[in-house]
Amino acid sequence: MGDFQRWLPLPLNEWQDTYRTLHMWTQIVGKIRMTLTPPMNHWWHATPYVNSRGLTTGPVPFISKCSPVHFFWGSCDLACTRFSGRLTPPRRGVISGPAYSHEVCSAGFWPSGGAVDGPAYYSYSVPRPASIDEAQVRPGEARWNAQLSEFILMYDDVRRAARPKKPYLNFWRARTTPEHVWLNGTVPHWSYEHARSL
């Protein structure tokens, strides 16, 4: 058998309908992937890949997400940040530009410094919702800090509580679960089950 005979014929007129259908479906998948996946060199983020079963996209990340607990070495704080997936007005800055490109609600722990005299838990939203500084927040010891534009719960207030875990969890849940977070007047597209598990 010659090399020519090992190759199957592919007469397009015999599978034209299948070809058109496959082409349209791959365009749909490609456009979804292009929209939801961070850009890569040469549009690699938008193309399906060939694997042993055919074409695949691999996992398609969604912008609406929750970060792991992470340590910011620049400000020396631990934080967990939730992203709604909605864009915000552009900001300047090598760090703050990308960090706040989408609506966020962040909560964490900061050992001290600047406008806060002592270790504290904090929570903030970007962009800052209207009248958030007048919002009721739990526990009662938590306060709005106008200089930082965020809610603060002092670590010593938590430590002195009869049940320290309770004020901390109340602060966290009151500031990060969807029924309490309001960004641009709407509830974010976040996983409620994930928030309840925190």
Residue 94 has pLDDT above 80, yes or no: yes
**CA–CA gap between residue 172 and residue 195 (Å, rounded):** 10
Residue 174's nearest CA partner among 141, 127, 149 is 141
pLDDT tens track for 125-150:
888 887 888 877 888 899 999 999 99
Neighbours of 187 (CB within 10 A): 14
Query: What pLDDT band is residue 194 in, cutting at 50, 70 and 90?
Result: very low
pLDDT tens track for 53-75:
888 887 776 767 777 788 887 78
Quote the pTM value: 0.61
Q: Which two tokens stand for residue 195?
A: 């928030």
Q: Which two tokens stand for residue 192?
A: 């409620």
The set of long-range contacts for 172-180, using a CB threshold of 8 Å and a minimum separation of 24, is 172/107, 172/121, 172/123, 172/198, 173/198, 174/137, 174/138, 175/105, 175/107, 175/123, 175/137, 175/151, 176/80, 176/82, 176/105, 176/107, 176/123
Query: What pLDDT band is residue 157 in, cutting at 50, 70 and 90?
Result: very high
**CA–CA gap between residue 105 and residue 14 (Å, rounded):** 55
Q: In this predicted structure, what is the pLDDT of residue 58?
A: 77
Distance of CA 79 to the CA centre of its chain: 13
User: Dihedrals φ, ψ of 9, to 5°?
Assistant: -70, 145
User: Can you tell me which residue has the tokens 């969890």?
Assistant: 169
Residue 156's nearest CA partner among 144, 174, 168 is 168
